[in-house]
Structure 1
């Protein structure tokens, strides 16, 4: 009897341990853990921002302002503007703790229509164009070594970029873990190439290569339109400054670490970008830089020969990593939009075998390829920046509005109101100046996309018209059979 009682007690003890273990696992699954400190937050900002932009934007920034001096000032000013914008988002993120970023802030301040317009524009303009720019950057650096002394043919660049999109889409559709491994491998590469270029530039400066910095404001082309376009290209390289805002719930002491991470991380990126541009100008005249198809590769050929192949190799790694990360995160936005009824329901389906959002990945890849076919990098950057700064400005303006309309909200971080006013006014200038001084078709296309989103919202969400189901049902059925996908709740664990 004693032995039986002992066994029962042991069994009960084991069951209690199992139940406690299950409860601990469930609590960790349900609740986000505050594991990101100040150092991790700062590194996350640096790692997110530095991607393909610094390897393609220097040429475009210089082309718009025409001289070394204004070019370096633009890079510094872009860093200041990004820091101020990120601080405004930090106040919003600690005031409104809902997930969704800009969508949630616009919803709180202005209601569903501006919030939906942001979602629509992100899905059809901002995310695909950003993805296309990165893949075209990869294609330029990957093809340049095979065409020494001349520019690679446009058709080669576009075919290579399309192939990259197909491969990245396939990788992420096959396995989430595989996509994560690819991301981890390529993330380190961009920091290696940044360090190589900066250290090489410092050595050249110490050796006295300063001729391109003399009379650095000669031949400058300064106008509202040219400065705005230069800012577009510079700010493209800084894009990602708002990403830390999406993990506020996982930050240790977010009221302290969120603004401090921004104040440390973005200025650090600014210093890196300015030093990289200085490194370029230590070895290339402005004319030579403008004539270079791949600036970092030209720098490597002149400074690191006979191991100059390191530069294009690591730039390719960096751009592939950025493209993979963009594909991974943007496809989840498509997935959520399908789940919320803002797109076809099939976009929220996942693979039965692989547990990946295959329809969302294929949709994103298809739209991105459509952008690549007629576009070039500079046009796409202007197109992307025009759209994104409309919503950055509107979101920061929401912060100003809620200072008066939502006074009851707690504000752990409260900036001087002059900062969001400066960011809002700058956003308005960035959006309007290029249209007024140098109007181009891409701006009209972007506006038409937004108008299309408004029409879609009125018809299918506000008035809830159902005639579109006659078209969507057969499409959904055929995609389910072809891709073997189902609604998430139908997938057994």
Structure 2
């Protein structure tokens, strides 16, 4: 919540789509912004989308394999279908994409409310035995706590995504803080109550062993109608994939404006006005992550890289307060909020390096790999001619296939 309010101030002061990429670019310059975009393009967004798509597959297939392990090939193929369908929807029409988001968000809330109500009924009947000794056998050292926080925070991914599309938001000075406050409070309340509901039925051991905790919960309390919960959860994760895809395409689009991504990402489909090349690029990179067999390793890669950049974004708030006091700031949050957020986030990052050096080291390596790419491809007036010719040729090919034009040319044509 502290981080979300920091982003609310940043979003109103710097009304540029792109979220933390835009804020790092404004405060710390081109190099740091490019490295953020590099990790977003290579790790954070496509990896997050692959994980949510796999979760969708697990829940869809659970009713088909209730008493045996799901075939991994089938799970991954279904995740591929999920990503490809939503990529096509987002590339075809923005209105269709927003309708998908609205419908599946309702489905998500319906599933969670059903679980919460069931949990309240179970608690009223005295089913609270699993709350006793819930922490037995757990580790309390700082490294384990940091990784546990990262896993928990991964479930709340998306609290900073609205800033990625702020240029498309009506009256952002009024609606951005309101939307952040309402959405974060609702999500936090619903998620916590949902987890409490699980403990009224599912033991700690069952929860750790389950691929889909909601399915175990439903099988224990809903009898022959247990399948309704995995269906609802599958619908909600389908909407989650759509939301990541929708916002990420805009991030890549903004990166292309600053010359940090190939110019083809700046193209808009002439009839539908969608950033089709950016959407398709995001869908393709997400498919590559489905090769991985370890979802928890993916989460470690995502969370470390993501929170490193988020922390730097909130540092940029303090930097801009000092260096750019003239910025229009309708929302001016107390300094204790960003300072507290930076301290806690730094603790999580430092101790996660200590606890999981392999995963975090891999994340740092990918971030560092962006430096030579920046020097060769993104540094102003430094494009080698062979690379420039190759990029231009690919851009022309994409324009011909998708029938798209650069943003500024399309706007001029419409005028």
TM over 0.5: yes
Query: Following the alignment from structure 1 to structure 2, what is the Cα–Cα distance between the partners of residues 362 and 253?
Result: 31
**Match for residue 376 of structure 2 among 459, 476, 479:** 459
2:388 counterpart residue number: 469
Quote how far apart the aligned CAs of 1:98 are.
4.0
Instruction: Evaluate the alpha carbon distance shift between residue 334 and residue 92 of structure 1 in structure 2; reply closer, same or farther with a 3 A threshold.
Output: closer
Paired residues of 1:190 and 1:315 also in contact (CA < 8 A): yes
1:478 aligns with 2:397: yes
1:168 counterpart residue number: 86
1:69-104 deviation digits (Å, cap 9, x = unpaired): xxxxxxxxxxxxxx1111222233343344433233
Paired residues of 1:123 and 1:333 also in contact (CA < 8 A): no
1:283 aligns with 2:184: no
Paired residues of 1:137 and 1:377 also in contact (CA < 8 A): no
Larger Rg: 1
1:259-294 deviation digits (Å, cap 9, x = unpaired): 566555423322221211111111111001111121
1:103 counterpart residue number: 21
**Match for residue 296 of structure 2 among 378, 383, 387:** 378
1:309 counterpart residue number: 227
Which moved further from structure 2: 349-358 or 387-396?
349-358
1:138 counterpart residue number: 56
TM-score (norm. length: structure 1):
0.76
Paired residues of 1:335 and 1:360 also in contact (CA < 8 A): yes
Secondary structure in structure 1 of the residue aligned to 2:41: helix
**Match for residue 183 of structure 1 among 101, 109, 116:** 101
Query: Following the alignment from structure 2 to structure 1, what is the Cα–Cα distance between the partners of residues 321 and 45?
Result: 30
Aligned residues: 408
Query: Following the alignment from structure 2 to structure 1, what is the Cα–Cα distance between the partners of residues 182 and 12?
Result: 19
Paired residues of 2:16 and 2:166 also in contact (CA < 8 A): no
Query: Which residues of 2 match residues 79-98 of structure 1 at below 5 A?
Result: 83-98=1-16
Paired residues of 1:201 and 1:280 also in contact (CA < 8 A): yes
Paired residues of 1:280 and 1:299 also in contact (CA < 8 A): yes
Query: Following the alignment from structure 2 to structure 1, what is the Cα–Cα distance between the partners of residues 350 and 72?
Result: 31
Secondary structure in structure 2 of the residue aligned to 1:283: coil
TM-score (norm. length: structure 2):
0.89
1:103-152 deviation digits (Å, cap 9, x = unpaired): 33223322222222222222222211111111011011111222222331
Paired residues of 1:347 and 1:357 also in contact (CA < 8 A): yes
Instruction: Evaluate the alpha carbon distance shift between residue 333 and residue 252 of structure 1 in structure 2; reply closer, same or farther with a 3 A threshold.
Output: closer
1:433-488 deviation digits (Å, cap 9, x = unpaired): 12212222x43332232223222222332452232122223323333343344434
1:66 counterpart residue number: none
Quote how far apart the aligned CAs of 1:386 are.
0.7
Query: Following the alignment from structure 2 to structure 1, what is the Cα–Cα distance between the partners of residues 182 and 389?
Result: 53
Instruction: Evaluate the alpha carbon distance shift between residue 321 and residue 475 of structure 1 in structure 2; reply closer, same or farther with a 3 A threshold.
Output: same
1:333-374 deviation digits (Å, cap 9, x = unpaired): 223333432222222223445443332222111111111112
1:323 aligns with 2:231: no
Instruction: Evaluate the alpha carbon distance shift between residue 408 and residue 356 of structure 1 in structure 2; reply closer, same or farther with a 3 A threshold.
Output: closer
Secondary structure in structure 2 of the residue aligned to 1:190: helix
Query: Following the alignment from structure 1 to structure 2, what is the Cα–Cα distance between the partners of residues 426 and 224?
Result: 12
Query: Following the alignment from structure 1 to structure 2, what is the Cα–Cα distance between the partners of residues 252 and 369?
Result: 34
Instruction: Evaluate the alpha carbon distance shift between residue 415 and residue 446 of structure 1 in structure 2; reply closer, same or farther with a 3 A threshold.
Output: same
Instruction: Evaluate the alpha carbon distance shift between residue 158 and residue 424 of structure 1 in structure 2; reply closer, same or farther with a 3 A threshold.
Output: same
Query: Following the alignment from structure 2 to structure 1, what is the Cα–Cα distance between the partners of residues 263 and 210?
Result: 46
What is the RMSD of the two structures over their aligned residues, measured on CA atoms? 2.5
Paired residues of 2:4 and 2:180 also in contact (CA < 8 A): yes
**Runs (5+) with no aligned partner, structure 1:** 1-82
1:416 counterpart residue number: 334
**Match for residue 270 of structure 1 among 188, 196, 213:** 188
1:449 counterpart residue number: 366
Query: Following the alignment from structure 1 to structure 2, what is the Cα–Cα distance between the partners of residues 277 and 170?
Result: 34
